[in-house]
Structure formats: C-alpha cells, structure tokens
C-alpha cells in the first residue's frame, strides 16, 4: 500500500504499496483463466475492468468510472457471525504491509547515482591519482576510474536496498488492524459461500486467482491509511502471488456504530460498514494497468469492526497466499451442486 503524493525523484512516481502478505499454502492445479473483454466502455481508458455480473442480486453501483459497487446482503447475518466467531477463535496478528514498488525505487535511486555522482567520484579519483601521485599511465588511470565507478554503483544499490527495508518497516504504522488468512482442511460454510458467490459476481475469474479469505479486525482507534491494492511493479514483485490485483472484495461482517468507513478519497466516496454487505472495486483494469483513482482507506474505527477480504489476481497464484486445496475443492463442489 502506498503513500499519497510522496515521490522519490525525476519521474515523480508516488511510492505505492499494495498489500499484505498473509501466509497460507496451496497445491495448485494449473488453470488458464479466461478474462473476457471489459464489461463496458467508459469515459476513462482504465474503465475496462474484469467483467462484473451487474445483475447479481443486491448489486448497486456507488460510483461509475471507476466502478465501485456494493452488494447488499452478500453474506447472511448468520454467515457473518460464523466468520467473526472463527476470527475470534484464531490468533490474529498485526496486519502486515508490503512496500509495493520497492524494486522500481531501488533501481531508480541506483540509476540516479550511477548516471551522475558515481562518474564524478570516479573522475575525482583519477584526478587525485594523477595530481597527488603523479600517475600518468592512461591504462592505470582508466582502470582506477572503472573500479571506483563500479564500487560506487554497488554501494549505491546496497544503500537503496537498505532504504527500501527501512521504508518497509515504517509502513507498518499505516495499518494497525489485526488479521488472519483462513486455511485448513475444513473450510467453513461461510468461507465457501464467499468464494462461490464471488465467482458468480466475477464470471470470468477462477478460484486459483483468489487469495485466501482474510479476516481483519479493527479495534477502537485502528485504521488503514490511504493505499492502493494494485502494484505498479506487480510483474516483478507479485509474480508468485498471481501478479496484479484486478479486483478487491470487502465484506463487512458487523455493523459499526462509529467510524470505520471505507473511503475512496479521490472519488469523494464513503462506504458505511453494514453487516453482510460487500464492497467490490477494481484496483487495476483487465490488462493489469494500475488505476490510481482507486486509492482507498479504512477510516479510524471507533468501535470493533470486522471485515473479510479477498483479492483477485490476474493469474493463478503460485505462492502460499492462494485459496488452499480443500477450500477450492469445497467451492467447486458447492458450485457443481448449485448449477
Ligand atoms: O477496512 C477497510 O474498510 C478497508 C480495507 C482495505 O482496504 C484492505 O484491507 O486492503
């Protein structure tokens, strides 16, 4: 997840971060999800998100271009209560925050040093060698310059990496909730229902593209600062977690008396947490292009707030964050029985 308006340098690219890596494991069956063409052509080039079943019961758009929808009664009250009970019985941990875009930032910082200061330092080194020690041999001076330049670039890369690590540690302050990703041999009925209904909402998606259902609890005072769920550097940094995040589903698991709205700052949109309702939006378009209009935050909760979150990626998830095998099997069985 990322900080709004902070930039590192020439390209003035906002430092972005997306996501939270909650570790589960899965045994993948290879799939090739068929992403259909965008649902609708909008006024903006990024409006073509993965297809959404507009006629899904209870679905209404809070915003168009970019599309943000709420699904009334996505889960029943009993299903929400069941998920909250599961969350309460589990060991929740401080929600992690990953530094999305770190690889671009490291490359940019290193390149900035390599394309200027490193060359000056190399030049200074040979001038010093020539003037102080009287060295005139051109090969000797050229080797000195090359060595000093190379050392400088290596040191700059190491310093940029150290900067990225420090920054990542600092990002954890942006999210103070606690969370757990569900996995295990016996998926709960409400968990299976969440995935099964999400597959109805996103007809072109496959379970293999979905991260495990993550239960998140905010206590009074907890918040999630403005961030993006997509990652501009997803191809490099999120290769094992399915690449770009194409869709986010948030299901509100309890009524929140005060605070805790999901706010899309650039859209002037606030979503009140209401038990059973879901919020669906598209952090990137169907091709994976980052959509910075979808910056959002979890406003400070003033009482306990529970949500369930599923991220849907562009590709099958190869790493441990995907829906686990037993859950996938249960979801597919439930769908086979239903259709
Ligand atoms: O809690 C909320 O309302 C937002 C949660 C969110 O954006 C996330 O988990 O990425």
**CA-wise closest residue to 262 among 228, 296, 306:** 296
Q: So what's the pLDDT on residue 158?
A: 79
8 Å CB contact between 1 and 19: yes
Ligand 1 pocket, 278 CB below 6 A? no
Query: What mean pLDDT is predicted for residues 14-25?
Result: 33
**What is the distance in A from the centroid of ligand 1 to the CA of 124?**
51
Q: How far is CA 273 from the centre of its chain?
A: 21
Whether the pLDDT of residue 4 is over 70: the answer is: no
Q: pTM value?
A: 0.78
Residue 18 has pLDDT above 70, yes or no: no
DSSP 170-238: HHGGGB--EEEE--SSS--HHHHHHHHHHHHHSTT--GGGBBPPEEEEE-TT--EEEE-SS-TTHHHHS
pLDDT tens for each residue of 128-145: 988 888 888 888 888 888
Tell me which residue has tokens 């309890």: 254
In this prediction, residue 313 has a pLDDT band, given cuts at 50, 70 and 90, of very high
Ligand 1 pocket mutation, candidates 211, 250, 279, 308, criterion most atoms within 8 A of CB: 250
Burial class (CB in 10 A: 0-12, 13-18, 19+), 227: buried
Give the pLDDT of residue 294. 98
pLDDT at residue 204, as a whole number: 97
Alpha-carbon gap, residue 297 to 132, rounded angstroms: 59
Positive or negative CA dihedral for 227, 283, 255, 177? Answer: negative
DSSP-assigned states of every residue in 15-83: P------------PPP----PPSPS---SSTT---S---TTSTTEEEEETTTTEEEETTSS-HHHHHHH
Better-predicted residue by pLDDT, 132 or 59 = 59
**Residue 269 scores a pLDDT above 60:** yes
Nearest CA to ligand 1 atom 9: 309
């Amino acid at each position: 997840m990322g900080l709004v308006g902070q930039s590192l340098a020439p390209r003035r690219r906002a430092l972005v971060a997306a996501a939270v890596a909650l570790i589960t494991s899965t045994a993948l069956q290879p799939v090739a999800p068929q992403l259909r063409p965008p649902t609708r052509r909008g006024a903006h080039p990024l409006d073509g998100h993965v297809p959404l079943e507009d006629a899904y019961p209870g679905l209404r758009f809070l915003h168009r271009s970019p599309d943000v929808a709420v699904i009334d009664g996505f889960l029943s009250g009993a299903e929400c209560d069941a998920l909250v009970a599961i969350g309460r019985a589990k060991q929740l941990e401080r929600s992690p925050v990953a530094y999305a875009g770190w690889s671009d930032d490291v490359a940019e910082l290193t390149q900035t040093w390599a394309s200027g200061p490193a060359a000056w330092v190399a030049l200074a080194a040979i001038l010093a060698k020539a003037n102080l020690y009287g060295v005139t041999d051109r090969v000797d001076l050229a080797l000195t310059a090359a060595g000093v330049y190379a050392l400088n670039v290596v040191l700059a890369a190491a310093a940029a990496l150290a900067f990225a690590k420090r920054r990542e540690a600092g990002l954890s302050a942006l999210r103070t909730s606690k969370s757990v990703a569900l996995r295990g041999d016996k998926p709960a009925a409400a968990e299976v229902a969440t995935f099964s209904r999400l597959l109805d909402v996103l007809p072109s998606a496959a379970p293999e593209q979905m991260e495990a259902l993550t239960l998140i609890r905010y206590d009074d005072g907890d918040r999630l600062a403005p961030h993006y769920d997509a990652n501009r550097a997803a191809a490099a940094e999120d290769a094992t977690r399915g690449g770009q995040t194409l869709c986010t589903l948030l299901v509100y698991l309890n009524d929140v008396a005060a605070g805790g709205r999901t706010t899309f700052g650039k859209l002037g949109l606030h979503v009140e947490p209401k038990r059973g309702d879901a919020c669906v939006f598209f952090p990137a378009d169907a091709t994976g292009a980052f959509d910075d209009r979808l910056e959002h935050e979890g406003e400070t909760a003033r009482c306990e707030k529970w949500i369930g979150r599923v991220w849907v990626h562009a590709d099958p998830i190869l790493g441990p964050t995907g829906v686990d095998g037993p859950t996938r099997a249960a979801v597919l069985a439930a769908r086979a029985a239903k259709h």
